[in-house]
Structure 1
């Protein structure tokens, strides 16, 4: 059964059902006033916004753990669990489970992020009872049927084989390995490897669920057309029978490797990919918001310095970006671009030059004012649907931010001074870069890529 096609049909059905009713959700300031801290009769806590604008309910939730709980020799276990939880549970086999989702246009998905095992549920209001019950079944009685396990394993291996020839995938994996080393969970690929995925067995999957899926680390955000009493009962029915406490392996604090360092992976492709970055700023560090604002100036979009210098002035790449990434036990900044093989050296030089310049000089007052204006205004678009708002509310919980953070955010941005931004720029980029380059060796870059063999 093609579950990707099935999921696409569910999404299309849901969109069609609500097309005539769709309108913008509340603005951030309006949404913030409505955010409730709901505690169900059974003690399940959620951040909740009741919104009857359209007859939809969106729920985002997460359990502590994620890919960091994969066994050391078997990265990819959490990712495999995420792909299998909806492949049959309770008295429903895989086909029947997906037919139930499809018939009611219910969107249900799971993912294993670096520190969290996350899930998403979206449905029409009238289908809420069935949607929440299917989620309950997936979390508490997944089958892990050998036939389904082998089918999902084959899909994962196929994806990993494609990644083995993808310069972007190779660069991303190598960058994390350089930054954190192979012994820390953050340095291992969350999707697994061609060596690890074939070794994962059903016992590994069940053990992961037993250790990770529990109430004490659960965080929930719900936005939509449901009242608090009804939602409380739904949360208890869905999550109430889960184990009380997770059994998580400790994850050590880790600092990203000190720049400058450079790694090269030879790959005979026309376009060279460059991934670059270095130690970042943790979410609760006093310098975080200054770093967030100055990072937008450097690499946050089509008005950024990197975009202007690398693409517009020199025509070296179609796009270039740079962003902050924070985890529970560390933080990075990371960027990426792709360029013609024979211009890779020039592209890296241009990036490093701009990094040095902003580290030494910082931004201008005009750049700072424009970045603040953009970051404040863009949040309204970032929260313009129930799903986006639910995702944001969940992330704020995972980041351990206050429930009124949406209201406070703009004032926190406004409080960033030019001196704060200069200090953050020096802290982020003053040491240089960790750089991973994937493409043709410099001596071969000036030559055409090898033509593929032709059939005899």
Structure 2
């Protein structure tokens, strides 16, 4: 049950052999000069039922990617039902009024295509990728799974078992457990204050009625966008949308989710989870950050690229290359529709967890005082723009980028703004971002054998809370099981 169409930046942290490049070059070539890049134009329409339609014509290959995006995701999970929206989306392809899950899979496979469905934050989606001459039968299947799902109880139970089995495995791994605990540290309350895919307890609590209610409330044309990218014209895309979804009707009164703003006085917590059997420790720093629509977003992306995105980033250089304390250290700017977070993470020996946490803090502070400049800054920006351009080379990639824009209520011309916006970021912009969002003390989560590092950690971090793994409760803001008073 993975979130779809969310394109996560990352490169393999492999140590290349020391070899001489062709022609005797000992250093990598300089990035080429920035150049103007234009992508295929997205055209918009709206059906009478309120459904938006976006068509991107790309006729180079006879391929078509179609995606239905709903502007609601895990933020509308019912209380104590975390993971319900993700499960609702995943169940779309598990049976309709006329087709079983195997029949749906076989129908798309016989067309040489793929079908997908899943949930994320602020969005859910389902779609197909096929040869353009198979558009009609593929659209018939997609419309069926979106308009006539039956949410069979046995399919719900099968997905529940898969999700809980996967989660149990994750919770035995220090890095994954740190990620789950980090949610409550950064977002103690509000729409993002639970794991997107749920916890063991919330997954067990989800009933068929929860799934049906979520579908009836949020799966409706006035909350939906149909994306068609590939071998299709704008007029053809509109006709296709009308043919398969023009009769879609919704109940009255779409209940728009109310964004819960972060508390102005967010207080960082310093959490140690004592996992007695942990072979290594996971170290994670995190704090609230900007939302996607912020004018500082592109400065944040470049700052993140300098700090922790790639083998040559500051964090990886200091923690892995210079000291050999980890196989890799990195950072991530997770900017969502209503809020965001900045995360720094690494895994290391239990005995070096405190040292790694201190190094992370040092590099965070340094970014505001000594931002990258010159060749280092140019190479970091070239990495981002090159990666973005590559993501726009396929129909599925274009659909994914448009999905992320729609999810965050941004205009479609944001597609063409990405590369010039990245290229315009200066050292001053990076320093300003770091001072605004990274200068305050972050939250801390360390998962591992606490006796090996807890006392050293307390020398640099105040109010460190040590929570035995057996007493951890991911469903509570406090992260500690509630005491039962007899």
**TM-score (normalised: structure 2):** 0.80
Shift of 1:427: 1.4
Does the alignment pair 1:134 with 2:141?
yes
1:357 is matched with which residue? 366
Shift of 1:39: 4.2
Shift of 1:256: 8.3
2:347 is matched with which residue? 338
Judging changes above 3 Å, is the alpha-carbon distance between structure 1 residues 257 and 264 closer, same or farther for their aligned structure 2 residues? farther
- Structure 2 residue matching 1:276: 3-state secondary structure: strand
Answer whether contact 2:49 2:222 (CA < 8 A) is retained.
no
Shift of 1:101: 2.3
Does the alignment pair 1:114 with 2:121?
yes
Does the alignment pair 1:264 with 2:272?
yes
1:191 to 193, 197, 212: 197
Distance 1:28 1:321 in 2: 30
Judging changes above 3 Å, is the alpha-carbon distance between structure 1 residues 215 and 339 closer, same or farther for their aligned structure 2 residues? same
Shift of 1:65: 1.8
Shift of 1:75: 0.9
Distance 2:407 2:210 in 1: 26
Distance 1:102 1:50 in 2: 25
Does the alignment pair 1:439 with 2:448?
yes
1:411 is matched with which residue? 420
Does the alignment pair 1:73 with 2:95?
no
Shift of 1:156: 1.7
How many residue pairs match? The answer is 420
1:304 is matched with which residue? 313
Answer whether contact 1:256 1:331 (CA < 8 A) is retained.
no
Does the alignment pair 1:250 with 2:258?
yes
Shift of 1:246: 3.2
Shift of 1:142: 0.9
Shift of 1:186: 0.6
Distance 1:94 1:374 in 2: 41
1:326 to 310, 331, 335: 335
What do residues 7-27 of structure 1 show as CA deviations (whole Å, max 9, x unaligned)? Answer: xxxxxxxxxxxxxxxxxxxx9
Distance 1:28 1:381 in 2: 15
- Structure 2 residue matching 1:207: 3-state secondary structure: helix
The aligned runs of 1:151-170 (5 Å cut-off) are 151-170=158-177
Distance 1:417 1:164 in 2: 41
Distance 1:140 1:195 in 2: 30
Answer whether contact 2:368 2:430 (CA < 8 A) is retained.
no
What do residues 120-151 of structure 1 show as CA deviations (whole Å, max 9, x unaligned)? Answer: 32112122112211121111211112222222
- Structure 2 residue matching 1:195: 3-state secondary structure: helix
Answer whether contact 1:307 1:319 (CA < 8 A) is retained.
yes
Answer whether contact 1:355 1:432 (CA < 8 A) is retained.
no
1:290 to 276, 296, 299: 299
- Structure 1 residue matching 2:192: 3-state secondary structure: helix
Answer whether contact 1:257 1:278 (CA < 8 A) is retained.
no
1:93 is matched with which residue? 100
1:217 to 223, 230, 255: 223
1:234 to 224, 240, 243: 240
Shift of 1:387: 0.8
What do residues 281-312 of structure 1 show as CA deviations (whole Å, max 9, x unaligned)? Answer: 22232322222212211112112111111111
What do residues 96-135 of structure 1 show as CA deviations (whole Å, max 9, x unaligned)? Answer: 2222122223322222212111233211212211221112
- Structure 2 residue matching 1:52: 3-state secondary structure: coil
Gaps of 5+ in 1: 5-26, 446-456
What do residues 47-104 of structure 1 show as CA deviations (whole Å, max 9, x unaligned)? Answer: 3221222221112332122111111111111121122111110211222222212222
2:111 is matched with which residue? 104
1:178 is matched with which residue? 185
- Which stretch of structure 1 is more off in the superposition, 406-415 or 328-337? 406-415
1:372 to 366, 377, 381: 381
Shift of 1:424: 0.8
Distance 2:198 2:243 in 1: 33
Judging changes above 3 Å, is the alpha-carbon distance between structure 1 residues 30 and 328 closer, same or farther for their aligned structure 2 residues? closer
Distance 1:242 1:313 in 2: 61
Judging changes above 3 Å, is the alpha-carbon distance between structure 1 residues 257 and 158 closer, same or farther for their aligned structure 2 residues? farther
Judging changes above 3 Å, is the alpha-carbon distance between structure 1 residues 260 and 306 closer, same or farther for their aligned structure 2 residues? same
Superposed CA RMSD: 2.6
Distance 1:410 1:126 in 2: 34
- Structure 2 residue matching 1:185: 3-state secondary structure: coil
2:406 is matched with which residue? 397
- Structure 2 residue matching 1:442: 3-state secondary structure: helix
Judging changes above 3 Å, is the alpha-carbon distance between structure 1 residues 229 and 325 closer, same or farther for their aligned structure 2 residues? same
- Which stretch of structure 1 is more off in the superposition, 414-423 or 39-48? 39-48
- Structure 2 residue matching 1:83: 3-state secondary structure: helix
- Structure 1 residue matching 2:69: 3-state secondary structure: strand
Answer whether contact 2:284 2:445 (CA < 8 A) is retained.
yes
Answer whether contact 1:44 1:236 (CA < 8 A) is retained.
no
Gaps of 5+ in 2: 3-34, 455-486
- Which stretch of structure 1 is more off in the superposition, 396-405 or 424-433? 396-405
Distance 1:256 1:326 in 2: 18
**TM-score (normalised: structure 1):** 0.85
